[in-house]
Amino acid sequence: MTGPLRERDDAHALLAAQAEHVRAGGGRLVLLRGATGTGRSAVLEAAAAHATHLGLRVLRARCSPDDSALPFSSVLHLLGPVPEFADVAPGVDDRGSAARLWRLLRSYADEAPLMVAVDDVHLADAASRRWFVEAARRIDRLPVLLVVTERSQYDIDPRPAGLTHALSPSLVRTHTLAPLTDDASADLVRAAFPTASDRWTADCVRAGAGSPLFLHALFDDLVGVPPPKALPRTCAALYPGSYPAAVSWWLDNAGPTTAEVARTLAALEEAEEAEVAEGAESSEEAVADADRGTTPESRTALAALLADASGADHTRVSGWLTAMTRLGVLRPDPAGRPRYAHPLLRDAVLGGWSAARRQDAHRAVAQAMLRRGDHVDAVARQLLGSAPAGLPWALRVLREAGTVAAREARPHDAVRYLRRAIREPLPDDLRQRLLTELGSLEYACADAPAGIPRLAEALDLPADPRDQVRTAIALGTALVGRGEVRTAVAALRRLESRLAAGHADLARTLQTASALLSDQDQTIRGEAYRWLTDTAERSPELVGASGRALLVRYASTAGEIPAREAMRRLRSLLTEPADPLAEPFLLGTAAAVAQWADELDEAERLVERGLAGQHPSLLHPMEQALLDTRWDIAAARGTYAVLLAAHPGAPVRRHTGGGPANHDAHTLLALVETGRTQDARRLADTFDLRAAPDSWELNRFLYARGVLRFTEGDVAGALHDFLECGRRQSARAVLSPVVTPWRTAAAECRLALGNPQEALALAAEELRLARVWDTPRTLGRALRVLARATRGRRGLELGEEAVAVLRNSPAEAELVASLLAQGRQLTAAGERTRGRDYLREGAERAERLGSARLLAYADQALRTAGARRTTPAHTGSASLTGSERRIAELAAEGRTNTEIAELLHVARRTVETHLTSTYKKLGIRRRGELREALEE
């Protein structure tokens, strides 16, 4: 498909004027310069047609590299076809041949004015070029218009000097054809496709890259797929293929070095686009490396990379990038980096390379990036597109990039790097380790169907026993996540039996892992703990410290020992030397029990210590257990914002066989407490609990849903959830209220339904178990509900005791609930003044806590008591809690967070949380403003 010439009026005017000059008897050389595809030949043809119209005789020649071996071949193309001079041929003497050809041209000029049109003079043979130069010096007094076209594109391999290099400028009229502007290109598109939308037109303009050649070739291919269909992004969708052929011809004219660099750039860009399409994560440092493309220095860096990878000259590559951007082949992206104007153009550029050649280019680029010190992530991304070659540096880069990505919580990137790494030739032991990491990461990416077979394959490979244990624990964790608890335990026990003779310490670690993983199934859990208990009684040394810690946890939840004794035992176990493979189990178990024991700061320190020891690329059940304890701590403190910030909007959970996770339960409770009951309902409805597999997490979610139902007014539904939670917990021998206080919750439902006797029985049993555990949180909660069920003077005494006990507890929400319950009891008993004081204190604490549920309850109770809440200080130093003020004062003195944590014996995270709250209340942004704000 051809069309009218656009933006060539200046060239036409120049040639028309020179044609008139020739008719008047004078001669001239006109040189039309331009990049490949800018329409030099089309302008020359138009000029020839105009000259014919004016009565000039036109002689034409199109030079070709195929004729370069024959001297004067281009001149003969001009003169030879004329019958009367058909026998003219150059002789042996070049000077003589040139003279004969010149006389021949003069004889033409004597007959009529001439236009001599020579296309692509840069391809002419050397003798012809010399002849044209000499003719230019002598035609000024002859009626001869010599018009030649010459390619002037910037290539990486420098071209020879142009035709007019040795001529005086006065002898030549030179015109350079610029690439088409976007407006001119758009006019061509609309002329060819009148129904094209603006978007479709713009895409064609970019794919045309300012080249009439590319545009018209594209039009030929688009006749079968006109708008409104989207412009294809790959040349495979084009027919008959005029566009990729035109681009290939353009590259061939540019030379092999330019083509190599152009295709290398296209391969880099294609790989980057694929990264974005696949949703690849990127480290901040790798993104910074990429963003260096926004400055001139980064263009130089890109040029250096392309030059190094392709073996080209750096300076010439840099110039080529600039020239191609000026032409429109490349365009800067929003970050300022040169990119191909359209994906279709990039695909056409790559069309001349096989898949193997592209892979070679990616490996060359990766090696060049490694030499210049780029981020390991950027190097590894290039290796993803390369073929395995057994190069040690490539394997090293892929492994390091996988480790970095896993450490930075980018599991999808880590998976891609390790999948590529295992394609390299590897010894069995290294393959075993990589498969373990890859399977773990695939599971973390919610790709359990791929991760579990990887881990199973790794477990079958010969390896060091410690590596086998790591693999078995990872496989067991993945299987339990799929609900295959018995299969997981069986796999661990098989390896345990093989290691029992020579590696007793590793066998004990596997025993502990089996017991922990069995928590997801009440039947298997019972079997595991019976075996663990019997073994510990007969031969304690066969259980190990981590196994004994699990037994302490079991006794704690069974209501057999008090918190003080549990912590004494665990602290003693923590002082014993621990194998690195067994230590996570000990730390995680101790953290969970410390949280139940209201030792929240100690629990937090244990959690951070345990998480710091986790390998970022290995599945381990204690990692999730530690995270669960972190949520438990936040819930115990009533820091609802922390829970909701980590769980925005939709359930984000690990594999739990389709059921809810611990974090979902805490989020549901936090939504209820903060008054977002509609969001809580949406979250609760996400799960079909009838189809959820048995697990302790399901029990906790049942409890949380019961709280939601009670808040919504569905007391009977709430009671059902609490009792079902209790039934399931009791079947697991979890009798203590340290995990889920279902009895007190069910008792409140019984009271609301008018069944005080049943409520009293539930509350009394909870208090009995709470006195065994003997911590303020559990004891105060049980006393509060029993007080409501008991009523009368004894109820007031129990309520008073509940408030007194909870004032020494970190569980602020429980204290608020007890203050409000006692305030209502006192008001109902006629002690209105005292009752109002309790209610006001409870309201103020509820507001500071951020519990909209308790605050609404307090406001209603105050209105019933004939009073209203006094507005507390929400901001300023008066609004700070005691802990916040103490930490703020130390920070104002210049102490670091770590120093404050050590001084107050709390976790560093606790310091950070309190300071964040303090900044918000004081209306400041930085540490330096603390002192002044505290004094106000």
pLDDT digits (tens, 9 = 90+) for 131-140: 999 999 999 8
From 85-99, 211-225, 341-355, 588-602, the region with the lowest mean pLDDT: 85-99
pLDDT digits (tens, 9 = 90+) for 627-649: 999 999 999 998 888 888 765 44
Q: Give first-to-last CA distance, the chain, whole Å.
A: 80
Evaluate the omega torsion of the peptide bond into residue 449 and state whether it is cis, within 30 degrees of 0. no
Distance CA 745, CA 706 (A): 8
Which comes out higher in pLDDT, residue 570 or 935? 570
Q: For 345-394, what is each residue's pLDDT tens digit? A: 999 999 989 999 999 999 999 999 999 999 999 999 999 999 998 999 99
Pairing type for strands 338-340 and 330-332 reads antiparallel
- The CA distance from 76 to 101, in Å, is 8
Is it the case that residue 48 has pLDDT exceeding 90? yes
The predicted structure's pLDDT at residue 801: 95
What is the rounded average pLDDT of the residues 711-728? 96
* Token duo for residue 315: 């300076």
Task: Please report the pLDDT score of residue 579 as a whole number.
Answer: 87
Tokens standing for residue 138: 């002598």
What is the mean pLDDT of the segment spanning 764-786? 96
Alpha-carbon distance of 1 to 220, in angstroms, equals: 5
Q: How confident is the model at residue 90 (pLDDT cuts 50, 70, 90)?
A: low
pLDDT of residue 235 exceeding 70, the answer is yes
Q: What is the pLDDT of residue 876?
A: 64
At 921, the pLDDT band (50, 70, 90 cuts) reads: confident
User: What pLDDT sits at residue 690?
Assistant: 86
Please give the Cα distance from 478 to 437 (Å, whole number): 12
**Mean pLDDT in the chain?**
88
Residue with tokens 């599945």: 619
Judged against a pLDDT cut of 80, whether residue 875 lies above it is answered with: no
User: What pLDDT is stored for residue 278 in this prediction?
Assistant: 66
CA angle, corner 422, sides to 416 and 426, nearest 5? 155
The larger pLDDT score, comparing residue 891 to residue 562, is at 562
Q: 756 or 914, which is more confident?
A: 756
What is the Cα–Cα distance from 549 to 566, expressed in whole angstroms? 9
Residue 329 dihedral angles phi and psi, to the nearest 5°: -65, -40
Check pLDDT > 90 for residue 336.
no
- Is residue 173 scored above 50 in pLDDT? yes
Report the distance separating Cα 609 and Cα 605, nearest Å: 6
Dmax of the chain from CA atoms?
136
pLDDT at residue 526 greater than cutoff 60: yes
- Answer yes or no: is pLDDT of 1 > 50: no
Q: Extract the tokens encoding 843.
A: 């309201």
List the single range of 324-333, 463-472, 652-661, 771-780 with lowest mean pLDDT.
Answer: 652-661
The arithmetic mean of pLDDT across residues 886-906, rounded, is 82
pLDDT greater than 70 at residue 287 = no
Flag whether pLDDT at 484 surpasses 70.
yes
**Long-range contacts, 457-466 (Cβ 8 Å, 24+):** 458/431, 458/432, 458/433, 459/491, 459/495, 461/428, 461/429, 461/431, 461/432, 461/435, 462/428, 462/429, 462/432, 463/428, 463/429, 463/432, 463/433, 464/429, 465/499, 465/502, 465/503, 465/506, 466/506, 466/581
Mean pLDDT of 542-558: 92
Task: Judge whether 902 and 885 are in contact, CB under 8 Å.
Answer: no
Lowest mean pLDDT among 193-207, 218-232, 259-273, 510-524: 218-232
Which tokens hold the place of 837? 């004081």
The pTM (predicted TM-score) of the whole model is: 0.78
Measured CA to CA in angstroms, residue 893 lies from 881, 888, 896, 913, 935 at distances of 18, 9, 9, 18, 13
pLDDT for position 865: 81
% residues pLDDT > 90 (the chain): 66
pLDDT given at position 257 = 95
pLDDT of res. 928: 80
- Split at pLDDT 50, 70, 90, the class of 38 is very high
Per-residue pLDDT, 639: 87
Q: Kindly report each contact of residues 709-718 with a partner whose C-beta sits within 8 Å and lies 24 or more positions away, as own/partner.
A: 710/745, 710/748, 710/749, 710/752, 711/672, 711/677, 711/853, 712/677, 712/681, 715/749, 715/752, 715/753, 716/749, 716/753, 718/745, 718/749
Per-residue confidence band for 93, with pLDDT thresholds at 50, 70 and 90: low
What is the structure's pLDDT at 659? 84
542 phi and psi angles, rounded to 5 deg: -80, -10
pLDDT at 86 over 70: no
| 111, 121, 159, 520 from 127: Cα distances, Å | 26, 12, 18, 90
**Given this model, what pLDDT does residue 293 score?**
41
For residue 255, what are the contacts with CB-CB under 8 A and spacing of at least 6? Answer: 155, 156, 157
**pLDDT band at 295; cut points 50, 70, 90:** very low
Structure token digits, residue 256 = 């092999």
Q: If pLDDT is split at 50, 70 and 90, which confidence band does 695 have?
A: confident
- When pLDDT is averaged across residues 41-56 and rounded to a whole number, the result is 95
Q: How confident is the model at residue 89 (pLDDT cuts 50, 70, 90)?
A: low
